Amino acid sequence: MMAGCSGGYDAPSGADTPAAPNGIEKLPAQEMLTTSAAAMATASSVAVFASLKEDGTAMSFDLVLGTGVGQGTMSLNGTTLMEFRELDGKMYWKSTREGAEAILGPGDASKIIGGRWVVTPTGTEDGEVPGPGDFGDKDDLLASLVQEGAKATVTGTGEVDGTPVVFVKTTGSDGTSTLAIQTVGEPYVVQVKGKEAGNIEFTNWNAPVTVTAPTGAVSPDELMKDAGPSSSGSSSG
């Protein structure tokens, strides 16, 4: 797994002093959301683990996201389907053999595509080639946590993986979910739970993100050319 799921706030390396209370639990519920959203908008990075289930199918994302840089995996029913890396304005993605078969069905094309890195300019993967979508964009993902016009209600306080939090239930056009906002350090969301949202955990805020471009990546056109009828019988991949 690429993203750890322990502790929400990060103290300086070697620090023994716990993060100070931030007082967010004293604010009205709606103000808690806007305050948290403003704090998250300035975060440099975050690790995300999301698990969603629909119609008996379980999907998960394990991501480390910075600004214009990130990496992670996408899995279906416990099987890794895809790995992605983003840096220098480019999105790299690689389907496993199982992932290629899920997209294209079994056959020579899946054998050729599975295990090969593909590269596209960042932002062109949605709708054209597979990719993590909004889950792969830190700013879009964090902004989506606070639904515009949603009704907010405080449901209590507690802890998430040892981090003290206040729980805020939100109901809006995207459904109902409960956000756990940490009450120490920066008021970041450390967990989201809901029928539509599934379960999402946010950890390792503002940690350095180092991503290396894979070698041998090809464009989608090059990949599909290799996977076309003329390549029947090819053993690449």
Residue 197: domain span: 24-223
| 9 within domain boundaries | no
Q: Tens digits of per-residue pLDDT, 107-153?
A: 776 777 778 899 988 876 554 555 555 567 899 899 988 877 889 99
List C-alpha distances in Å: 237 to 83, 91, 99, 108. Answer: 15, 20, 13, 10
Q: Determine, yes or no, domain membership for 130.
A: yes
Of 86, 45, 46, 77, give the one whose Cα is nearest residue 59.
77
CA–CA distance, 217 with 36 (Å, rounded to integer): 38
Residue 95 to residue 103: CA distance in whole angstroms: 9
On whether residue 45 sits in a domain, the answer given is yes
Helix (H) or strand (E) holding 117: strand 117-121
Per-residue model confidence as pLDDT tens digits over 70-86: 999 999 888 888 999 99
Residue that the structure tokens 């403003």 belong to: 38
- Return phi, psi of residue 155, to 5°: -110, -5
- Kindly report, residue by residue over 206-218, the tens digit of the pLDDT: 999 999 999 999 9
- Which residues neighbour 120 within 8 Å (Cβ) at sequence distance 6 or greater? 90, 91, 128, 129, 219, 220
Better pLDDT: 231 or 169: 169
19 lies in some domain = no
How far apart, in whole angstroms, are the C-alpha atoms of residue 44 and residue 204? Answer: 11
Total domains present in the chain: 1
pLDDT tens digits, one per residue of 171-230: 988 889 999 999 999 999 999 999 776 899 999 999 999 999 999 999 988 877 766 654
Alpha-carbon distance of 73 to 75, in angstroms, equals 7
Flag whether 38 is in a domain: yes
Neighbours of 65 (CB within 10 A): 27
Q: What is the CATH number of the domain that holds 159?
A: 2.50.20.20
Considering the domain boundaries, does residue 29 fall inside one? Answer: yes
Residue 3 is assigned to a structural domain of this protein: no
Q: Does 125 map to a domain?
A: yes
